[in-house]
Structure 1
Amino acid sequence: MTLSPSEAVAQLTTLLGADAVIGEAAQMGSYLKEPRKRFHQQAAAVVRPGSVQQVQAVVCWAAENRVGLVPQGGNTGLVGAQVPMRGDEVIVSLARLDRIRHMDVAAGTMTAEAGVILEQAHKAAEAENTIFPLWLASQGSARIGGLLSSNAGGVNVLAYGNARELTMGVEAVLADGRLYQGLNSLKKDNTGYDLKDLLVGAEGTLGIITAATLRIFPKPADYETALVNIAGPEAALDLFQLMRERIGSRLNAFEIIPAIGLDMQLRHGMLDRDPTAGPSPWYALIEVSRMAGGPEGTLLAAVETAFGAGMIDNAVLAESLADRTRMWAFREQMSEVQSKEGASIKHDVSVPIAAVPQLIAEGSAAAMRLVPGIRPVPFGHMGDGNIHFNFSQPVGADSKSFMAEADERIHEAIYDIVLRLGGSVSAEHGIGQLKVDLLRQVKDPVALDMMRAIKTALDPLGILNPGKMLG
């Protein structure tokens, strides 16, 4: 950066107006404090542009002055892509770009600006009797731009795909200030490279997404939801295969949760009552959508078949919206409750679905050999092979000592198993600054060369989210 922070603030204030610039460190707190509290760098300033043209003006200014820019949505990311890495960057908050520009129910699309909160996108779709099916725990604060930049997943990937598959087109400001206008809604377009797919998942390193054309779907008439007692991941795999055969594309979600997750939530009062059918070593949360005129009881029939085949020994089906909400709270609170149990070592990994049981068995055993008393808490998206393989500290352990002694060793053990099973070390959270070194270790060298070439071509000055993803 060629300017002092005070000079940067003064110039940005002239460019955007005082209301759009935060220059006092004491007022930047909410923009700097990411959810896991792992990264603690200051910023030279925070800017809050109110239009796409203002975003372009900021990028042009940054290019002229060699200032790094950190695009930020709702600041819910878990790998530090949305917060400063060096301390002299300017955070570009897209929060004020928060309009739903267009709804086209016939075409099945919604055009939303980057600052639209996911929950607002849900409500806009529901007002037209449709759904935008990207659904995750932080939907009350996560914003569209950040979700697309990290290629967010969530619990409906099984039926609808991740953020990239839900995006038909994007609008983005490039590193030289030009505007890429790719907001088309065409299902077929073979006129060259798919630039939309390049920008989605790039974590703001290739362009700043300002708006997107998103896919929306007819709203289901109802949902059938069940919480099923299972013996373990092997049984979950068999049950998942049965559900897929019986239900097909209407199987929205298949999540697995260990008993320790229920014990933790009940101990900390996070559930008003036990949502399960009774004690079990593991649980599967299964949800099916029913379209208007479609048959009722599809999930019940499939559960009964599983009973008959000896795959499960107990289950409870949601009989009300309150039941469904409680079941999903059990799943969605899994990350939060671990923070109440002390330090936690976390992995967002994926393997081929058939390898999930082996991953959990081998990974749990390896961690317990390394740290006696450690508590494995693997849970998540069995239906797409994405497991949040977390480990809570031993009961009574000192949190700082646990992390200092165990963090690196546990990561190494789990990633070794994941890679041996043909998996990925980042399933849905991204690379950010947390996994830059890890990416260099595990990514194919040719793929890394291609990524660096693209970065150099689109951002030759390196001003877009410097240091993230590729370092």
Structure 2
Amino acid sequence: MPASVPSSIPTIPTVPLTAEMRDSLRAIVGEKGLIEDEHGKQPFVTDWRGLTVGRAGAVVRPASTEEVSDVVRLCHEHGIAIVPQGGNTGLMAGATPWPSHTGIVLSLGRMNRVLGVDAVGYTMTVEAGCVLQTLQEIAADHDRFLPLSLGAQGSCMIGGNLSTNAGGVQVLRYGNARNLVLGLEVVLANGEVWDGLRALKKDNTGYDLKHLFMGAEGTLGIITKAVLKLWPAPKDVCTAWLAIRDPQAAVEILSEAHAASEDNVGSCEILSRAAVDLVLRHIPGTQDPIKADMPWYLLLEWASSRPRQDGADGMSEKMEQFLEGQLEAGRVLDAVIAQTVSQSRNMWRIRESMAEAHRAEGPGLSFDVSVAISKIPEFIDKGLKAVLDILPTIRPYPLGHIGDGNLHFSFMGPKGMDQQTLTQYKAAITRAVNDLVTSMGGSISAEHGIGMDKLDELSHYRSKTELDIMRTIKRALDPQNIMNPGKVLRL
């Protein structure tokens, strides 16, 4: 069994695809929309990390909402399980089929049209298979800004981002994915299409259904289109890399940065020295912004939509003044402000390459947690002690979005330890970390979702009332349990 799969496998529908159903699928999506050979299916049944490999009777790639609807209706009629998939860049195996899966993977990659940009109304209407970076670039072409930004943006797709309620580095200022959406179009489990594709900021007509599907990881329906919010394009941006005293200093710096920047803090990311070194080892072309061996760093970016005016202080001048005060206070030990676009990109590449560097380094464990911002220093201290008490030779490299309380509490296995051996410690370490998070009023999943990796953890930490409500919704919308079965909830 793959290392990431829970020990207790949930029951999922196992109705196989018959020759007749394959012919029906082919008639809906055409030859180029149906993948049946094992080699062709492999990228779709293997998660990005390479830790979880599932199975599928076929990979179906519809090119329109109508085709998605017809495919889902066919599967509903025959009880065929469906695993919806976007860019397959998730870290919780939420878009990966189980090894016992006999149904289909439904990939949205061919649905990649931008249907319209309303620059005046600050919206963009898109299909679910659009790559996030492409949408960012199209928004910029219209002098607008799509703030959703994460390391996988060159390959992740907006439908998957919304289905997992993705976070990223701009949550501090703009919120998670669900805060960036005005309307959705969704294909339900019986093939019906819910058209909620409205570009309205005010719509107080009963339940706000779109929020059911964002963060549900494809277990309630398949997002096919979305109306996204846009913002004015940043015109004055300052990026700084700070060597800081400790995590407590990071929290205090952030607290004072809001007023000093005139509420223009866009991102605030904390990185340990070990995390920076991990990237420098494995990602060619990255350079250490501060060539000094300090234990903690902060990537701080301020951005304003107002162009810098002649004779007036812009973001860089305000940042310089702010950092002078932080150096005097002893919170900042050293700092560099990016003077060029390439310097800024290097800083961001270090932060955004963490998952890739982790994968290149070898076996490891990573926890995507959140606590109140003011509690992050305490969590780091207690969390590191708890994990090192279990496995003293494990290598910590904590980092994360300190601006919104989301820490990626990550570890590399001891040198020379293989994945199988490290897995023997995983249950104890997971329980220690998640118990601490829960005791501090935090969340065991801040932005990566549940998928199959945290299936048992959700059941353990959420209350019976919460789980019963979620199961009631799931059964009402998907009574046959064919939509991404065995993910998020045990039924």
Verify the 8 A CA contact 1:229 1:277 in the aligned structure 2: no
Asked whether the equivalents of residues 242 and 306 of structure 1 are also in contact (C-alpha less than 8 Å), the reply is no
Deviation at 1:277, TM superposition (A): 5.5
Q: How does 1:85-124 map to 2 (within 5 A)?
A: 85=98, 86-124=100-138
Give the partner amino acid of 1:428: E
Question: CA separation of 1:269/1:18 partners in 2, compared to 1, >3 Å: closer, same or farther?
Answer: closer
Aligned-partner Cα distance in 1 for 2:438–2:450: 16
Helix, strand or coil at the partner of 2:326: helix
Counterparts of residues 248-397 of structure 1 (less than 5 Å) = 248-268=262-282, 270-276=284-290, 278-294=292-308, 295-296=313-314, 297-397=317-417
Report the alpha carbon displacement of residue 447 of structure 1 after superposing the two structures with TM.
1.1
Q: Does 1:173 align with 2:172?
A: no
CA distance in 1, matches of 2:326, 2:350: 23
Partner amino acid, structure 1, of 2:143? N
Residue 89 of structure 2 is aligned to residue 76 of structure 1? yes
Distance 1:237 1:221 in 2: 27
* Residue number in structure 2 paired with 1:421: 440
**Which of 4, 21, 45 is residue 32 of structure 1 equivalent to?**
45
Aligned to 1:163: 177
Structure 1's 437 and 269: CA in aligned 2 closer, same or farther, altered over 3 A? closer
| C-alpha deviation, 1:2, in angstroms | 4.0
Cα displacement (A) at 1:89: 2.0
3-state SS, counterpart of residue 266 of structure 1:
helix
- What TM-score does the superposition give when structure 2 sets the normalisation length? 0.93
Give the 3-state SS of the residue equivalent to 2:375 in structure 1.
helix
Distance in 1, Cα, partners of 2:170 & 2:304: 15
Task: Give the aligned partner of residue 5 of structure 2.
Answer: none
Sort the Cα spacing of 1:266 and 1:175 in 2 relative to 1 into closer, same or farther, 3 A.
closer
Q: Shift of the alpha carbon at 1:440?
A: 0.8
**1:77/1:460 Cα in 2 relative to 1: closer, same or farther (>3 Å)?**
same
Cα deviation per residue 1:126-161 (whole Å; 9 max; x = unaligned)? 110111010000001000100000000000000111
Contact 2:275–2:398 under 8 Å retained in 1: no
Give the match for residue 63 of structure 1. Answer: 76
Match of residue 450, structure 2, among 420, 425, 431: 431
Q: CA RMSD in A?
A: 1.4
| CA deviation map 1:390-441 (0-9, x unaligned) | 11112233443122x2211111110011001100001001011111111111
Deviation sequence 1:159-200 (CA, Å, 0-9, x none): 111100001110001111111111111111111001011111
Q: What are the ranges of 5 or more consecutive residues in structure 1 without an aligned counterpart? A: none
Number of residue pairs matched by the alignment: 470
What SS class does the counterpart of residue 482 from structure 2 fall into? coil
2:161 match: 147
State the 1:225 CA deviation: 0.5
The Cα offsets for residues 428-467 of structure 1, whole Å up to 9 and x where unpaired, read as 0101111111111111211111111111111111111111
**In 2, Cα distance between equivalents of 1:12 and 1:206:** 22
TM-score (norm 1): 0.97
Aligned to 2:218: 204
Comparing 429-438 with 257-266, greater Cα deviation is found at 257-266
> Is contact 1:68-1:464 (8 Å) kept?
yes
CA contact (8 A) 2:15 2:81 kept: no
Q: Using the alignment, how far apart are the partners of 1:449 and 1:248 within structure 2?
A: 44
In the TM superposition, residue 221 of structure 1 has moved relative to its aligned partner by: 0.7
**How far apart, CA to CA, are the structure 2 residues paired with 1:414 and 1:214?**
35
Q: Distance in 2 between matches of 1:270 and 1:385?
A: 30
- SS of equivalent to 2:447: coil
Cα gap change, 1:349/1:248 in structure 2, threshold over 3 Å: closer, same or farther? farther
The percent of aligned pairs where both chains have the same amino acid is 40
Contact preservation (8 Å) 2:282, 2:361:
no
Q: Which amino acid aligns with 1:380?
A: G
Residues 172, 208 of structure 1: 8 Å contact kept: yes
Q: In the aligned structure 2, how far is the partner of 1:232 from the partner of 1:15?
A: 58
1-side partners of 2:261 and 2:246: how far apart? Answer: 22
Q: 1:277 to 1:318 in 2, by over 3 A?
A: farther
Residue 20 (structure 1) aligned to one of 11, 29, 33: 33
The whole-number CA distance in structure 1 between the counterparts of 2:477 and 2:267 is 37
Distance (Å, rounded) in 2 between the aligned partners of 1:353 and 1:419: 15
